[in-house]
Amino acid sequence: MKKEENFSDWYNEVVEENGLTDKRYPIKGMNVWPPYGWKTMLLIDAIVRREFDSRGHDEVNFPLLIPEDQFEKEKEHIKGFDSQVFWVTKAGDNELDIRLLLRPTSETAMYPLFATWIRSHADLPLRIYQIVNTFRYETKQTRAFIRVREIHFIEGHTCHATFEDAERQINEDIEIMRDIAKGLCLPFRIHTRPDWDKFPGAFYTKAIDTLLPDGRTLQIASIHQYRSNFAVPYGIYFEEEDGTRKPVFQTTFGLSERMLGAVVAVHGDDMGLVMPPPIAPVQAVVVPVPVKGEAGSIGGEAEKVWKRLSAAGVRARLDSRDIRPGNKYYEWERKGVPLRIEVGRREAAEKFVTAVRRDSGEKSRIDGASLEDGVKELLDEISDSLRRRAAEKEKLLEKEAAALADIGPGLNMVWWCGSEECGKGIDEKTGSSILGIPEGKQEGSGRCIVCGKETGTRAAVSRPM
Amino acid sequence: MKKEENFSDWYNEVVEENGLTDKRYPIKGMNVWPPYGWKTMLLIDAIVRREFDSRGHDEVNFPLLIPEDQFEKEKEHIKGFDSQVFWVTKAGDNELDIRLLLRPTSETAMYPLFATWIRSHADLPLRIYQIVNTFRYETKQTRAFIRVREIHFIEGHTCHATFEDAERQINEDIEIMRDIAKGLCLPFRIHTRPDWDKFPGAFYTKAIDTLLPDGRTLQIASIHQYRSNFAVPYGIYFEEEDGTRKPVFQTTFGLSERMLGAVVAVHGDDMGLVMPPPIAPVQAVVVPVPVKGEAGSIGGEAEKVWKRLSAAGVRARLDSRDIRPGNKYYEWERKGVPLRIEVGRREAAEKFVTAVRRDSGEKSRIDGASLEDGVKELLDEISDSLRRRAAEKEKLLEKEAAALADIGPGLNMVWWCGSEECGKGIDEKTGSSILGIPEGKQEGSGRCIVCGKETGTRAAVSRPM
C-alpha cells in the first residue's frame, strides 16, 4: 500500500495489520488495544508521567461516572458536550434517580472535590493529572487513535492563586509538550484557537497541532486557560493571607492516544510502521541467520547478543522461530522495529553483529566488544534522524496564501482581520479553517484574506483531520 | 483510634485521613484516588506487571462497554451478574438500539475477539491480562478498596489446547500470586470454593483469602478454571494438528484493589498506616533536625542524604518544611513511611544518619559511607519482619472447630461431608460460611460438623468481609 497515493487507506491498513489496534470489537469507535499497540501506548504514558512527575505534578484517579446535576453547573461546558455524552440510566433493575454520564473529560468530576481540598493560599498551586478512559459519542466517521468513542486520555488540572501563576503553568505545559514530542520524534505547532473554537468554558485555548503527510492537521493536545470560569460555579475559593476569599484560577492540559496516531501517520512508510526508538516496544530484534550444520552455535551467539542488550536496558527481542530469516525481516520491518541485529556465520566467527536500520535501510557493523554502546548510539541516531526528517517534511507543507484561491493542503499562513465573520468565511469558501494564531511574535501587516482590511494578525489555516 | 477496639472504624479513618482515598465523591462506592493512594496502587500494579510480563503474558486493553446481546451468551454468567450491572441506554439524544453495559469483568468483551484471534494449535496458549476499571452495582454497605462500585481490577485470561495445560496455568497463577503477595508482605490461603460459591460460569474457583485482624476473611484474588464453558457459546475453537476442530480450555485470574485494603488492614496499627517497603510511595523520609544558627548547614546535609538515596533508587523524600520536626514525625508515621532518616547536628558533624523504623520504632545509626546500602538493608529487614509478623498473627487466628458451637472469629477448620445442605447449614446456624477446601493434601477423617457423617474432607469456615 502506497502512503502517498491513498493516505487514509494506508493508515487504516498499517495500524490494524501490525497489531496496534483491532477494530473488530462490535461497537463503532471502541477498539481493542492488542499487545503491540498497548505496549507502545504505555511507553508514551511513561514519558508523560516522567515529565509531569519530575515537575512536581501528582497523579490521581477520579471516578468515571459523573452525576447529571454536578455536570450542569458550568453552562458553556455542558452546552459543548451535551450531544456527545453516554448516559447510564439504569443499575441492576433500578432506574437511577439521578442519571450518570461517562466522563467526556473530568472538570465536573474533579472540581467539587477541589472545592473541599483547597482552603487557603497554602494549598496552592494544586497540580494533578490522571491517565484514564474518556467517552464521546462521535457521530463523524471514526478512525483508530484519531477519532474514537472510548479515548485513552491524559488530563492535567491545576489551580492557582493568580492569573499570572496560571499563565506560568501554561508555559510549563508547553515545555512538557516539547519533552514529550521529543520522545515521539514529532514536530508540532501551537495555535491559539479562535474564540468560536475554544474548549467549552475556557477563557482561551492553545492547541498543539501536527501536520500530517496528506496536508491535514491533527490536534494532538490542548492547553486551556479557564481563569475563574469553573471556579465560581464549582465554589473553588481560597483565603488570601489578608483573609479575603477569592476564586482560584485554573488551567488544564489534555493529551490523548492521538499522539500515537500522529506517530504512525508522520513516520510510517510504504513498508509499514516506523516506530521511534523511545516508544518502540521492541527497539532491536535479534535474528540468527543460520547456515546448514551451524544453526545451533549461531542460535547460541544470537541468544547471547539478545541477553547482553536486554541487560543493558535495550528493549530487545530474540526471534528464534523456525522460519526463514527473510520472512522475519519482512514482519519486523512492517512492525517498524528500529533496528534489526543479524547474527550469521561471519558475525559469530569474527565477533561482530550486523545492524540494519528500519528508517534508512542502512547496514553497519557493530563490534562485539562495544555491542551495547553501539546499539544505543545507533538508536539515538535513528531518533535524531526521524526528528530531522519529520521537521523537514513539515516545513514543505507550510506556505503563504495571499488570496483565498491560494489556500490548499498543508499549513496556509494568511493575514486575518480577526473577525468571526471573515474567519468562518474562509471555511465556507475553501473547506479549510482557521487553526488559530501561531505562537510567537507577530510581525508586519497585510490585508485580511477575506475582507481586505489592513491587519497585523497572521493566522494559520488548514483542513483538520 | 485503637485498631483492636473497633477495627471497622479504625480502617475507615486510617484510609481516609492519610490520603489513600477520598470518599467525598457524590456517588456511593465510587471514590477518588488521591496522590498517595494512587501511587501505592501503581506500585502494586508494577509488581503485577513484572510478574505477568516475566512469564510471557501480554498486556492488552479492551473496551469498557459491552453490548447486551454479546453479554448474554453464557447463561450462568449472565445470571450471576445481571442484578449488578450499570446500563448505558442513551447517547447524546438517542436511545440506543442495543443497550451497553459497563464491564463487571471482561469475559464477554474479550471472548468474541478470541474467536477471531485463535485459528490453530499454533495460536495457543494465548495468555493476556489487563488492568482496568470495572463496575458492580453493590447494594451492600460499601468500604474503601474492599467493596466499591468502581473497581481497580487486574484480569488475566488464558486459552489452552488441553485441560492439563489450563491446569498448569492455574499452578503458575498461584506462583504469580506468591510473588505478588511477597511484595505486599501478606500471607494468604487458597481455598477451592464450594460449587454454589464459584464464579458464574466457572468449572471451579480457587480463591485467595487473607485473614483480617478482626477474624474475618477477605478474598483478594481468585483463579478460575472454565474448561470450555465459555469457549463453546463464544465459538473459540482451534484446529488440532490432525485437522479436528476443538473448543479451547480457558482460565482467568482476577486481582483487585482489595490487595491494598488487605495491606492496610493487616499491617496498620494504632498510629496509622504501616506501608510495606516494596509498595511504599515514600520508603524513607529525610528530616533535618536543625538547631539554632545551624539550620542552613544541617538542611544542606539532609538534602545531600536525600539526593544520594534517590540516586540509588530509594523512593526518598526530603521534608524541609518550616515546621517542628516532631510534627513531621507524627505525620509521616501516620502515613506509614517505613523509614525516617534524621539528620541533626551530631549526624552532620560525625557523618552518619539516624534511622527510625516505622514498624518497630527501633533506632539505628547508619554510617555516611554506607548510607545507600544501609538504608536498603534496613528496608529489606522491615519487609521480612512485616511478613513474619503478619504470618504469626494469622496463625493465631486459625483453630479447630469440632462442633458448630466452637465456630467463632478467625479461620475454623471443620470436617464436612461435602453436601450443599450441610455447607449452607453452617452459614444459617453460625453466620460463618464455608470458604472452601484448603489447598494441599487432605489427611485423616472425622465426622461432618453438621450431619455427623464420616468424611475425609476438611473445610475452612469463616465470616467473610
CATH at A406:
3.30.110.30
Residue B169's contacts (CB-CB under 8 Å, 6 or more residues apart) are: B125, B127, B158, B160, B251
For residues B133 and B85, state if they share a domain: yes
Is A384 domain-assigned? no
Q: Which three cell numbers stand for residue B281?
A: 510511595
pLDDT reported for residue A261: 98
For residues A71 and A197, state if they share a domain: yes
Is B387 domain-assigned? no
For residues A327 and A192, state if they share a domain: no
For residues A321 and A432, state if they share a domain: no
* Of the partner residues B24, B42, B89, the one whose CB lies closest to the CB of residue A87: B89
Amino acid identity of residue A173, one-letter, is D
pLDDT reported for residue B187: 97
Residue B77 has pLDDT above 90, yes or no: no
Residue A387 has pLDDT above 90, yes or no: yes
For residues A191 and A236, state if they share a domain: yes
Is A274 domain-assigned? no
Please give the average per-residue pLDDT across A214-239, as a whole number.
Answer: 97
CATH at A334:
3.40.50.800
Residue A441 has pLDDT above 90, yes or no: no
Q: Which residues of A touch B25 (CB under 8 A)?
A: 62-63, 109, 113
Number of domains composing chain A: 3
The alpha-carbon gap from B102 to the nearest alpha carbon of chain A, in Å, equals 9
CATH at A21:
3.30.930.10
Greater confidence (A464 vs B334) lies with B334
For residues B256 and B345, state if they share a domain: no
The alpha-carbon gap from B431 to the nearest alpha carbon of chain A, in Å, equals 27
pLDDT reported for residue B81: 85
Is A386 domain-assigned? no
Nearest CA to A176 out of B36, A376, A184 is that of: A184
Residue of chain B minimizing CA distance to A56: B35
The alpha-carbon gap from A33 to the nearest alpha carbon of chain B, in Å, equals 5
Last residue of a domain, one of B237, B267, B297: B267
Residue of chain B minimizing CA distance to A109: B25
For residues B80 and B179, state if they share a domain: yes
Last residue of a domain, one of A267, A290, A323: A267
Last residue of a domain, one of B212, B242, B267: B267
pLDDT reported for residue B442: 86
Task: Please state, for a pLDDT cut of 90, what percent of chain B lies above it.
Answer: 92
Is B408 domain-assigned? yes
3-state secondary structure chain B: CCCCCCHHHHHHHHHHHCCCCECCCCCCCCCEECHHHHHHHHHHHHHHHHHHHHCCCEECECCCEEEHHHHCCCHHHHHHHHHHCEEEEEECCEEEEEEEEECCCCHHHHHHHHHHHCCEHHHCCEEEEEEEEEECCCCCCCECCCECCEEEEEEEEEEECCHHHHHHHHHHHHHHHHHHHHHHCCCCEEEECCHHHCCCCCCEEEEEEEECCCCEEEEEEEEEEEECCCHHHHCCEEECCCCCEEECEEEEEEEECHHHHHHHHHHCECCECCCCHHHCCCCEEEEECCCCCCHHHHHHHHHHHHHHHHHCCCCEEECCCCCCHHHHHHHHHHCCCCEEEEECHHHHHHCEEEEEECCCCCEEEEEHHHHHHHHHHHHHHHHHHHHHHHHHHHHHCEEECCCHHHCCCCEEEEECCCCHHHHHHHHHHHCCEEEEEECCCCCCCEECCCCCCEECCEEEEEEEC
Is A255 domain-assigned? yes
Is A275 domain-assigned? no
Greater confidence (A265 vs B72) lies with A265
Cβ of B83 within 8 Å of Cβ of A61? The answer is no
Peptide bond into A112 cis (omega under 30): no
Q: Which three cell numbers stand for residue A376?
A: 544505543
pLDDT reported for residue B297: 86
Pair A250, A169: CB distance under 8 Å: no
For residues A314 and A370, state if they share a domain: yes
Q: How far is CA A157 from CA A101, A226, A414, B64, in A?
A: 20, 10, 33, 24
Question: For residue range A317-358, what is the model confidence (pLDDT) as tens digits?
Answer: 999 999 999 999 999 999 999 999 999 999 888 899 999 999
pLDDT reported for residue A349: 87
Q: ipTM score of the complex?
A: 0.96
Average per-residue pLDDT in chain A? 96
The alpha-carbon gap from B459 to the nearest alpha carbon of chain A, in Å, equals 33
* Ordered alpha helix ranges (H), A83-162: 107-117
Q: Which residues of A touch B126 (CB under 8 A)?
A: none
For residues B43 and B167, state if they share a domain: yes
For residues B323 and B363, state if they share a domain: yes
Q: Which residues of B touch A35 (CB under 8 A)?
A: 58-60, 128
Q: Which residues of B touch A41 (CB under 8 A)?
A: 61
Question: For residue range A271-320, what is the model confidence (pLDDT) as tens digits?
Answer: 999 999 999 999 999 999 987 777 778 999 999 999 999 999 999 999 99
pTM as predicted: 0.97
Cβ of B112 within 8 Å of Cβ of A26? The answer is yes
Is B1 domain-assigned? no
Domain containing A425 equals 398-464
pLDDT reported for residue A74: 80
Cβ of A67 within 8 Å of Cβ of B92? The answer is no
For residues B88 and B223, state if they share a domain: yes
For residues A102 and A186, state if they share a domain: yes
pLDDT reported for residue A106: 97
- Confidence band (pLDDT; 50, 70, 90) for A107? very high
Q: Which residues of B touch A34 (CB under 8 A)?
A: 60
pLDDT reported for residue A159: 98
